[in-house]
Amino acid sequence: MCYFKQPAKLAVLIVLPLLLLCYGIGNIHCYAVHENSEDFHSLLEFKRGITSDPKGALSNWNPDTHFCQWNGVNCSSTRPWRVTELNLTGQNLAGQISPSLGNLTSLDTLHLESNLLNGVIPDALTNCSNLAYLDLSYNNLTGVIPPKIGFLTKLAGINLIHNNLTGGIPAALGNITTLLVLALSENQLNGRIPHEIWQMSNIVQLYLDQNNLSGGIPQTLSNISSLQELSLASNMLGNTLPSNIGDALPNLTLLYLGSNHFDGHIPASLGNPSGLEQIDLSSNYFTGQIPSSFGKLLQLNYLNLGENKLEARDNEGWEFFHALANCSFLNELYLSNNQLHGAIPNSIANLSTNLTHLQMGGNNLSGIVPPSIKKLNGLIRLALDFNNLTGTIEDWIGKLTNLQHLNLRSNNFIGTIPPSISDLTQLIFLSLANNKLTGFVPPSLGP
């Protein structure tokens, strides 16, 4: 679950007058005057590299029209009319990115995302020394990230999400002190995350998820107070998390580390960033108790700790569950496939009334489901499958009227399926298999 928030555009649209060699006198054919021939020819060369233009985005890219009025092109407000922005987002353009774009040395914004471009990112793009925002996401680009990308010392944002880029992350990226957004998700990048990346003094969003990165996070993590969103999910990262991770990232709002090989205890310091809203540590090898410090995260709305080896065997181990009652915005809680033992605490009734997803399947839960669970009547999805729960379900099931997905399979529930289950009019999935229920199936559950 991951997403990329694009910053506001860094260039302002400037409408320029069309410069004509003549003014349409008689039947004389008029051509635009392209005072800046270098930018003009560089754009034409880019057009030649495009093999398919189904939307006609480049239809007016011809000498009859001044290049500053070509679709997707913005220029400076004074002569010699330098190109400052090229925006051809979502035009389904196919072909390759011409190295000629490297001649647009006044370019500060390049938007070529959501096309069908292939080939490599030209090294020549690193000649665009004024480039502040580069977005080539959602294409079919291959090869490596240009090693000289560190020459773009004015970059504020770079988005290369969803391509087929290979190789490592250039360490030089960490030297761009202006960089606010670095998004390299959904590629085939490998190797370790360069140490320099963890030293970026102004970084706000760092998205490296869905690659083949290895190694881990430095055990002594320096203070990166600017970082708000960190996603490293779906890689091959491992080792333990630095114990000071929550203190080093005090302004963190989103942390996605799921589907990796992290192990050891979850650091208690993760309860310290007061604005932390989303945490995903699922599908790793975390052990020990879940920190009760999560209860300090008053803005927390999403917590996914499923598919780990986390334990709760006594009152101390379940303290985190009581503490989560403080998280009044908690919307989704995933604890499935861990090593939670014993009865579900009665404090389940104190969880946020905003809770829509609660999954605790695949543990070693026993005893009855506290009837007070019916207070969580905003639940859309409830999964308690593959546990050792017993008792009846009639005291609470009919009150959860917003349920769409209910999974109670492979437990020891007894009694009958209560008629009140017919009150669950939103239900689209129900599994009660492998229990000890008796009697008839209510007609409301029939075809």
Tell me the domain boundaries of the chain.
Answer: 31-159
Is it the case that residue 8 has pLDDT exceeding 70? no
**Residues in the chain, overall count:** 447
pTM (2 d.p.)? 0.90
- The Cα–Cα gap between 382 and 401 comes to 12
pLDDT tens across 370-393, in order? 999 999 999 999 999 999 999 999
What the block records as the tokens of 346 is 């009665």
Q: What pLDDT, on the 0 to 100 scale, is given for residue 129?
A: 95
The H or E element containing residue 40 is helix 37-48
Nearest to 205 by CA among 216, 197, 215, 217: 197
Q: What is the mean pLDDT of the chain?
A: 91
Q: What is the pLDDT of residue 231?
A: 98
Let me know the angle formed at the C-alpha of 113 by 108 and 115, rounded to the nearest 5 degrees: 135
- 152 pLDDT exceeds 70? yes
- pLDDT the model gives residue 33: 58
Nearest to 415 by CA among 378, 368, 383, 363: 368
DSSP for 387-415, written as a single string: SEEES-STTTGGG-TT-SEEE--SS--EE
Give yes or no for a contact between 43 and 70, defined as CB atoms under 8 angstroms apart.
yes
Per-residue pLDDT of 356-368, as tens digits, reads 999 999 999 999 9
Q: What pLDDT shows up at residue 437?
A: 94
Determine how β-strand 405-407 pairs with β-strand 414-416.
Answer: unpaired
Q: Which H or E element spans position 248?
A: helix 245-248
Looking from the CA of 231 toward its CB, the CA atoms found within 13 Å total 23
- Please determine, for residue 9, whether its predicted confidence score (pLDDT) is greater than 50: no
In the predicted model, what is the mean pLDDT of residues 260-276?
98
Tokens of 197: 């990346």
**Which of these, 427, 421, 352, 428, lies nearest to 392 by C-alpha position?**
421
Cα separation, 93 vs 114, in Å, equals 9
Is 148's pLDDT higher than 80? yes
Query: Using one digit for the tens of pLDDT, what is the confidence trace for 392-414?
Result: 999 999 999 999 999 999 999 99
Examine the pLDDT at 225 and tell me if it is beyond 80: yes
DSSP one-letter string for 296-360: G-TT--EEE--SSEEEE-STTTTHHHHHGGG-TT--EEE--SSEEEEEPPGGGGGS-TT--EEE-
Residue 447 has pLDDT above 70, yes or no: no
Average pLDDT over residues 267-277: 98
**Cα–Cα distance, 52 to 34 (Å, whole number):** 26
The helix (run of H) or strand (run of E) holding residue 134 is: strand 133-135
CATH architecture of 31-159: Alpha-Beta Horseshoe (3.80)
Looking at the DSSP assignment, which residues form a beta bridge with residue 333? Answer: 303, 358
What is the spatial distance between Cα 427 and Cα 443, in angstroms, rounded to a whole number? Answer: 14
pLDDT of residue 32: 55
Angle in degrees, CA 423, 426, 428, rounded to 5: 115
Out of 3-12, 36-45, 137-146, pick the least confident: 3-12
pLDDT tens column, 164-204: 999 999 999 998 999 999 999 999 999 999 999 999 999 99
pLDDT of residue 323: 98
**Position 72 pLDDT exceeds 80:** yes
Using DSSP's 3-state secondary structure scheme, residue 232 falls into coil
Confidence at 441, pLDDT banded by 50, 70, 90: confident
